[in-house]
Structures are given as C-alpha cells and as structure tokens.
Amino acid sequence: MSLARLTQLKNEVAACTRCGLCKTRTNVVFGEGNPRARLMFIGEGPGRDEDLLGRPFVGAAGLLLDKMMASIGFNRNTVYIANIVKCRPPGNRDPQPDEAAACIGYLRSQVAIIKPKIIVCLGRISARYILGTDIRITRDRGVWHEVKGFWILPTYHPAALLRNEALKKDAWRDLLAIRAKYDEICSGGANES
C-alpha cells in the first residue's frame, strides 16, 4: 500500500547522510500529500521555513503555490509535493550536482510508489534534473513531455512569480493546461478533486 511504503521511505530518508547537506539541515523535508495523487509538483529544495518545519513549500513561495493549486481546484490533499533535494542548501544556494545525484533516487522512489500521471516541474533546477540539462525555463515552460508514461510539464517556480509579476500570465496558462490535462487523462479516478 502506497502510504505504508512512503512512510517506510520517509523514515529511511530522515536518517540520510548521503550528501553534505545533512550537516546543516534542521529537518529533512521528505514531501507530503496524497499517496495516490495523480498530480505531483516537484520543487528544487527546502528553504529556511521548510527546513525549520520539515514540510515542503510552507514559506512565501508555498503560500503562492497553495493559491495556484486552489485556482485550478487542487490542494495538499489531492496532489503530492516533493523536491529534488530533501535537505536545505545553506543560504538557499542551488543544490550542487553531486547533492542532487545523491538525493534523486529518493524522488524516483516516491514517483514509483505514488505513480502520478502528471508531474509539474517548478522552476529550472527541477526541470533540469527531471527532463535534462538543456532546459531553459523561459523558453521551455508550458511544453508537455511524455516520458515513460508520465506527462511532465515545466513551469515557473512560484518564487520566480513573486520576484517578477510579469511571468504570472504564462504561469496561469500553464495552470489551465495542467487542469485540462488532468481532466483529459485522470477523470473517473479515485481521488478526483
């Protein structure tokens, strides 16, 4: 059962020392949401608020993510939210390639357990580690990639939308595209929103 397997994985990650980020973290931020979600959002890594609380997207960017989800009829009980790295990079620097490489197996396990139909990459770092290093978010956002049965969409990170309001128009397009894809491929499922 997904919940039991996720809980087991969460306990394993809570003790992880596979990369140097373990030395400066307060809490591991495993991820949260519906273990059977069809829609999964993947960010970059915990910031200060997330590190303190041990939960993903609970700071300013997280509040915006909540609003973005709500605008298309989703919430934390109907989606799953995780990050590329589970421990906070000091000072909110980008995760380094060796840190992402050490950690991404956990994300792959989460995806394998939850089996979402739609994966939304929030921002450049997320999109690069999931879709490949040549992704440029301003150029490539809003384009669906069908990979191994998953529908994957890169879009702006909510923190970018807070810095630059002008990006919100395209972000809204992407949200509507997510809702439309969900209605197209996920209707009739067990955890409809």
Which lies closer to ligand SF4 via its Cβ, residue 9 or residue 63? Answer: 9
Site for ligand URA in 7-36 (CB under 6 A): 29
Is residue 141 involved in binding ligand SF4 (CB under 6 A)?
no
Instruction: Please say whether the beta carbons of 22 and 68 come within 8 A.
Output: no
**Residue from 19, 21, 39, 61 binding ligand URA (CB under 6 A):** 61
Is residue 43 involved in binding ligand URA (CB under 6 A)?
yes
User: Measured between alpha carbons, how far is residue 175 from residues 3, 19, 64, 169 in Å?
Assistant: 27, 34, 13, 10
State the nearest-atom distance from the C-beta of 88 to ligand SF4, in Å: 8
Angle ∠(170,37,181) on CA atoms, nearest 5: 40
Q: Which does 171 bind (CB under 5 to 8 A by kind): ligand URA, ligand SF4, none?
A: none
Report the candidate in 120, 117, 136 with the shortest Cα–Cα distance to residue 68: 120
State the nearest-atom distance from the C-beta of 19 to ligand SF4, in Å: 3
CA 73/CA 6 separation, integer angstroms: 25
Contacts with ligand SF4 by CB under 6 A lie at 13, 16-19, 21-22, 28, 85-87, 99, 102-103
